[in-house]
Structure 1
Amino acid sequence: MSDVLSVRGLNVTVRDTPLVSDVDLTVGPGERVGLIGESGSGKSLTALSILGLLPEDVLASGSVQLAGVDHDLIGADERRMSRVRGLQISMVFQEPMTALNPTMRIGDQLAEAMLIHHTRSGRGAARAAAAELLERVQLPADTLRAYPHQLSGGQRQRVVLAIALANDPALLICDEPTTALDVTVQALVLDLIVQGVVARSSALLFITHDLAVVATVCERVLVMYGGRVVESGPVGEVFTRPRHRYTEGLLAASDLETADRRLTTIPGNVPPAGQFPSGCVFRTRCAHATEICATQPPWTDGFACHHPAGAVDAPAAQDRPGDAHA
């Protein structure tokens, strides 16, 4: 069965400065895929490229194919993309207030999402469907008459999710949808996202920096750093046997099971856009970097690292060249 989403050789630049480089990813029918990495790694830019929502001065190249769409999404004009967004592919953003119209009642916004794509015959049918959608995301019927500012953050995010699922899209993209929510509301929203895509047999691309969320929601994960995908594979394998040194560092930094152990950190910061080092983009922060890391490591068995974790010949920190962190 063909993939719902296929991204090949995606590059994103602004004024010739590379922001995302040579990204490949696929999402199969009904598959839930996580995309993780630190802020500035290129996760959200990848999502915006897929949806054709990049600012005018930011350019994307490569190929983005969506099942059921007979044209490449990269380079498609707004008329074509408006037929795709909200119908075959939908997105839940981090901040729901930016996705909701503050001057419209919730019921009207839900109905509009269906009427604009003619998936309901008439406003009455759309309003009835809107009420059913609210019930599915565990919001009371009187929410239809509310304005966004009258709802809590968690309620607004559930409304945005209901809008995103209104037309049974083939692919749902979630970009840090629970970051601003407290733990209990976060768990509810995550559960509703999974229930929503499973009920509709939709595919899911879930973007986050939270490894625990990926472990809860996703089946497969891609790790991004410095605008590149550095590792991918089933969640269980990547999280228990990481191969790329950046993935290893992320997992170590999130492991707090031992109360008396000091928090592990990754030294330094993600380099600014346009200042990524040559070769392995992580080498300036990696304790195992050697001179060969100045060349781009090949993609092998789901990762790209010259000195992968678990390799018997991986150099220790004291063996790295003196300019590895220059």
Structure 2
Amino acid sequence: MQPDISVKHLSKVYDDGFEALKDINLDIIRGEIFALLGPNGAGKTTLISIICGIVNLSSGEVKAAGYDIVKDYRKARETIGLVPQELNTDSFETVWNAVSFSRGLFGKPPKPAHIEKVLKDLSLWDKRNNRIMSLSGGMKRRVMIAKALSHEPQILFLDEPTAGVDVELRRDMWEMVRKLRENGVTIILTTHYIEEAEEMADRIGVIRNGEIILVEDKAQLMTKLGKKELRLQLQQKLEQIPGELTLEPLELSGDGYELIYTFDSQQEQAGVARLLRTLGDLGIEYRDLQTRESSLEEIFVGLVHE
């Protein structure tokens, strides 16, 4: 299957010599939700801006929906919708006119039924005749998404789309993203709310210092790099970990009433069974046990600072 976004050996060097992107290679599959994660200044927005035709590349090749963004820039741009970080809106215009005008910018004929559907999906229909300047920050963010969807793009970029949005609006937006994916739209998002990427994304890409350091299926990433933790609350206090258990990845809490066993998915069955069997042999009783898994946020922080 031809990827919707194909990036090959992409680099970006600014006039002052700063190398923002270094030999980026990335394919994004049609119909997937791809989360691009990275710390501030890592190159996320630069990469998105180049694909969307806002910033010129220094070298390499980028295709959107099969169109070269330099040689076929008009056709490539028509396939892309972009929701930028900044709230750039037509303050004195009504919601309906602003969204309809965005559709016209791409040479698309009027299609009121589509504009109506987009506004209803984003809970903007009741605000369609309101001037944008009268809306809250969260509603303005929805208008930005509506404008990006006005020309029925095949690819949608969401650059920090829920920044400054309350919990209810955020939930509504992600429901809309799911519906778009079901309709075959390819979605690329950057977010600082990593729990959103954990919930929504099919694949995760991590960028650091202008380089892609990892691209992985989300489930496989959390299996390979995630850690699990078993906490055993003990009946009696331990002064130290018994010698029979010193080879296990065990920690003893400060009060001596809890053993903490850290393991990965490959160690899970054998390691936990061995630990519990050894505790039984030693006569160490526990009154409760709890398990937890690493979150995507913990994995991300570990990757970035590794």
Counterpart of 1:172 (choices 130, 148, 156) is 156
- In structure 1, the partner of 2:115 is 130
Unaligned runs of 5+ in 2: 227-293
- In structure 2, the partner of 1:12 is 12
- In structure 2, the partner of 1:53 is 54
Which amino acid in the other structure matches residue 138 of structure 1? S
- Structure-2 change in CA distance of 1:265 and 1:111 (3 Å): closer
Distance 2:295 2:3 in 1: 33
2:193 aligned with 1:210, yes or no?
Answer: yes
Distance 2:185 2:207 in 1: 24
Residue 212 of structure 1 aligns to a residue whose secondary structure is: helix
The structure whose Rg is larger is 2
- In structure 1, the partner of 2:128 is 144
- In structure 1, the partner of 2:79 is 88
Percentage of pairs with the same residue: 22
Residue 170 of structure 2 aligns to a residue whose secondary structure is: helix
Distance 2:225 2:59 in 1: 30
Distance 2:83 2:172 in 1: 15
- In structure 2, the partner of 1:33 is 34
Distance 1:202 1:252 in 2: 27
How far apart are residue 115 of structure 1 and its match? Answer: 2.5
How far apart are residue 186 of structure 1 and its match? Answer: 1.6
Which amino acid in the other structure matches residue 34 of structure 1? A
Which amino acid in the other structure matches residue 134 of structure 1? L
Contact 1:6 1:66 in 2 (8 A): yes
Which amino acid in the other structure matches residue 98 of structure 2? Q
Residue 119 of structure 2 aligns to a residue whose secondary structure is: helix
2:221 aligned with 1:223, yes or no?
Answer: no
Which amino acid in the other structure matches residue 64 of structure 1? V
How far apart are residue 129 of structure 1 and its match? Answer: 3.2
Distance 2:201 2:135 in 1: 29
Contact 1:33 1:221 in 2 (8 A): yes
Contact 2:51 2:64 in 1 (8 A): no
Contact 1:168 1:202 in 2 (8 A): no
Residue 241 of structure 1 aligns to a residue whose secondary structure is: helix
Counterpart of 1:106 (choices 95, 113, 138) is 95
Could you list the per-position Cα deviations for residues 216-253 of structure 1 after superposition, in whole angstroms to 9, with x for gaps in the alignment?
2110111111111111111112133229xxxxxxx679
Distance 2:167 2:128 in 1: 26
- Which structure 2 residues correspond to residues 242-257 of structure 1 after superposition, within 5 A? 242=225, 254-255=297-298
- Which structure 2 residues correspond to residues 226-241 of structure 1 after superposition, within 5 A? 226-241=209-224
Distance 1:253 1:202 in 2: 24
Which amino acid in the other structure matches residue 136 of structure 1? D
Contact 1:49 1:60 in 2 (8 A): no
Could you list the per-position Cα deviations for residues 185-216 of structure 1 after superposition, in whole angstroms to 9, with x for gaps in the alignment?
222212212222323x1111111233211112
How far apart are residue 114 of structure 1 and its match? Answer: 2.2
How far apart are residue 254 of structure 1 and its match? Answer: 3.8
Distance 1:217 1:253 in 2: 12
Which amino acid in the other structure matches residue 6 of structure 1? S
Could you list the per-position Cα deviations for residues 47-100 of structure 1 after superposition, in whole angstroms to 9, with x for gaps in the alignment?
01111212xxx753211012242xx21x45xxx645543x301111123x21x2
Over the aligned positions, Cα root-mean-square deviation in angstroms equals 2.6
- Structure-2 change in CA distance of 1:4 and 1:22 (3 Å): same
Distance 2:167 2:113 in 1: 32
Could you list the per-position Cα deviations for residues 115-166 of structure 1 after superposition, in whole angstroms to 9, with x for gaps in the alignment?
233433x4xxx3443222211212234x221121211122122222122122
Aligned length: 237
